[in-house]
A and B are shown apart, each in its own frame.
Chain A
């Protein structure tokens, strides 16, 4: 049984997709990021994806790179991420952590899994860890009952889709496009194809992310996916705001629009 399954069960009961919103911990400050995540939850985001800021984020576009740089310049530590996870999980929302692999390897894979579970987190999304290299994480996540979300891509072969999905618990992350994070004007034509290819090989819920940033795009993706994952567009609300209050207002407004989108899927 997966920890994040609760969020998927609840959304399924409502006949809709799960809304996942991403925010780097410590951006612009640790307290500021916690306030932002709580505002997202209040405005209708089901699952918060807390990103651990990393010095070399190769899967992230300019918006999340900038936010990560700000967080790191402010001195955010991996332990602060766990504090953010705990604070947001206390609201009752499901919390998943997205992280590049090196910070976890340095923290200690088993120690991180233990502390993540204790903080109330559900599991990890790992953009640069493929199942082929994940033996230590597979063992630690089993030992501490955490979920595992690996990514699949339009370029993945059917064999790799099957293998990757088999190693996931909770949900599998389908990247909608070939590219890095960042809102885009067009919704992906590759994503529905990738999701239907996944459906052929797995029953695990499918989340779709990369390039989703508006309520209309969320509605489109909700038409074929089990979860809609939004990152850069939410981060930009905070990045572009003149002050914290304005940032939170913008964040609530976009969160509500996205929440509305997943409730009115385009079929």
Chain B
């Protein structure tokens, strides 16, 4: 396995992960990004901040999350599978870690308003939750198509006191919601923090979001050692923007014997063009403030992504993943809708756990790599899978997919 550069070297001071990352933003935002960068660096060296963040993660979010050995699921796929149960966190996903960190920073910067983009509504709900807790005004931009598909999450955000703005521009989905949030931020940057939901966007967001969620991997590494006496053979996570994957990868990057697998949304199949696999099926470009792998045409126009999982349905990916791919430290493979849903069903039936469809991509990926790893190692492999979120939000989509909803 190739030696990985120490993560301390990336990103550089300007946020570059090798040829990826950086800041491709209107000058109007540079001062705010610099302010955020300074506040974040100060906070990460400030014991009071770290203590406050740690207490919130423990007492409010319910972490450390469990590392659970899924014995019946393991028996079905031929690997010893340890599930990192981020689905048990408050609000039902890893995302609460990021929003708590950024909301704390917002307060420290003296800003009184947060804005966010959301696709399925999970990040919007998490942001609205933190805004309620910290008494911040909250505006969430959501593509009009998504507000109609995810009416329940729209209601959740409103219950929590947030304003939800349906975005009618462009394709009316997540990327357009992100554009609209950027426009709001340019106009209101003085009193507003843009609480980006994944490890993408302009510097320092990719590095900062990674640092707020990297506890996932730190916990999992310790828990795996306690449970098995050794590090895992592989770590698996789904990748949309990629925050849950970076969160669980980060602590393992220096452990070169641990294989890192990111599973992208293959949609109807990468060869059909209807997918969200930016690394597998895209190319280097600039989108939403950063240079990374992007789904685009020859003119650099963004191509719409497709996935049964709304949370993975994004035509870009965090720049650190692009870098981990280029260096070979992590391996990125597509998982199509059908395989993800088969793994979704298998976890439900063997473990009594309904995963988020996003996380089902990681389960399906683990299932796909298990035989190869077993052959390579000559024994049953140990795979840590990040179960990044719970599937309550997906009951309607999955019910329709499996044809088990009563006809109305």
> Taking the nearest CB of chain B, how far is it from the CB of A223, in angstroms?
23
Q: A130 contacts which chain B residues (CB < 8 A)?
A: 23-25, 27, 30
A160 with B27, Cβ < 8 A, contacts A56-B170, A102-B285, A155-B189 known: yes
- In the assembled complex, the Cα of A133 lies from the Cα of B31 at a distance in Å of 16
CB-CB contacts below 8 Å: A127-161 with B: 127-130, 132-133, 150-157, 160
- Interface residues as binary, A164-199 with B (CB distance below 8 Å gives 1, 0 otherwise): 100000000001011110000000000000000000
Q: Does A94 contact B (CB under 8 A)?
A: no
Q: A72 contacts which chain B residues (CB < 8 A)?
A: 301
**How many chain A residues touch B (Cβ–Cβ < 8 Å)?**
41
> Which residues of B are at the interface with A, using a C-beta cutoff of 8 A?
14, 22-32, 169-170, 175-176, 179, 182-183, 186-190, 285-289, 294, 296, 298-302
Cβ B30 vs Cβ A160 within 8 A? yes
Cβ B26 vs Cβ A59 within 8 A? yes
A58 with B26, Cβ < 8 A, contacts A102-B286, A180-B187 known: yes
- In the assembled complex, the Cα of A69 lies from the Cα of B176 at a distance in Å of 12
Q: Does A97 contact B (CB under 8 A)?
A: no
Q: A127 contacts which chain B residues (CB < 8 A)?
A: 26
Cβ A133 vs Cβ B28 within 8 A? no
Q: B26 contacts which chain A residues (CB < 8 A)?
A: 58-59, 127-128, 151, 153, 175
Q: A128 contacts which chain B residues (CB < 8 A)?
A: 24-26, 286, 289
Cβ B28 vs Cβ A178 within 8 A? yes
Q: B286 contacts which chain A residues (CB < 8 A)?
A: 101-102, 105, 128
- In the assembled complex, the Cα of A157 lies from the Cα of B31 at a distance in Å of 7
Cβ B27 vs Cβ A78 within 8 A? no
8 residue pairs A–B, Cβ–Cβ below 8 Å? A65-B170, A101-B286, A128-B26, A133-B23, A133-B24, A155-B27, A164-B27, A178-B186
Residue among A127, A151, A152, A180 facing the most chain B CB atoms (10 A cut-off) = A180
Cβ B22 vs Cβ A133 within 8 A? yes
Q: A65 contacts which chain B residues (CB < 8 A)?
A: 169-170
Cβ A56 vs Cβ B30 within 8 A? no
Query: Which of A101, A103, A153 meets B301, CB within 8 Å?
Result: A103
Of all A-B residue pairs in the complex, the 5 with the closest CB atoms, nearest first, are A106-B300, A153-B28, A102-B300, A179-B187, A103-B300
- In the assembled complex, the Cα of A127 lies from the Cα of B25 at a distance in Å of 8
Q: Does A8 contact B (CB under 8 A)?
A: no
Closest to A62 in B: B169
- In the assembled complex, the Cα of A224 lies from the Cα of B189 at a distance in Å of 26
Cβ B285 vs Cβ A56 within 8 A? no
Query: Which of B14, B27, B182 meets A152, CB within 8 Å?
Result: B27
Query: Which of B23, B289, B300, B302 meets A132, CB within 8 Å?
Result: B23
Q: Does A114 contact B (CB under 8 A)?
A: no
Query: Which of B170, B300, B302 meets A105, CB within 8 Å?
Result: B300
Q: A102 contacts which chain B residues (CB < 8 A)?
A: 285-287, 294, 296, 300
Q: Does A162 contact B (CB under 8 A)?
A: no
6 extra interchain contacts, Cβ-Cβ under 8 A, other than A105-B300, A128-B26?
Answer: A65-B170, A77-B299, A106-B296, A151-B28, A156-B27, A160-B30
> Taking the nearest CB of chain B, how far is it from the CB of A175, in angstroms?
6
Cβ A178 vs Cβ B24 within 8 A? no
> Taking the nearest CB of chain B, how far is it from the CB of A153, in angstroms?
4
A56 with B302, Cβ < 8 A, contacts A102-B294, A128-B25, A150-B27 known: yes
Closest to B14 in A: A132
A178 with B301, Cβ < 8 A, contacts A106-B296, A153-B28, A156-B30 known: no
Residue among A56, A59, A104, A128 facing the most chain B CB atoms (10 A cut-off) = A56
Query: Which of A106, A132, A156, A160 meets B298, CB within 8 Å?
Result: A106
> Taking the nearest CB of chain B, how far is it from the CB of A105, in angstroms?
6
Query: Which of A56, A157, A164 meets B175, CB within 8 Å?
Result: A56
- In the assembled complex, the Cα of A65 lies from the Cα of B179 at a distance in Å of 11
Residue among B25, B27, B32, B189 facing the most chain A CB atoms (10 A cut-off) = B27
> Taking the nearest CB of chain B, how far is it from the CB of A22, in angstroms?
16
Query: Which of A152, A155, A180 meets B32, CB within 8 Å?
Result: A155
Residue among B24, B169, B183, B299 facing the most chain A CB atoms (10 A cut-off) = B299
A69 with B170, Cβ < 8 A, contacts A128-B26, A151-B27 known: yes
Query: Which of A55, A59, A77 meets B170, CB within 8 Å?
Result: A55
Q: A151 contacts which chain B residues (CB < 8 A)?
A: 26-28
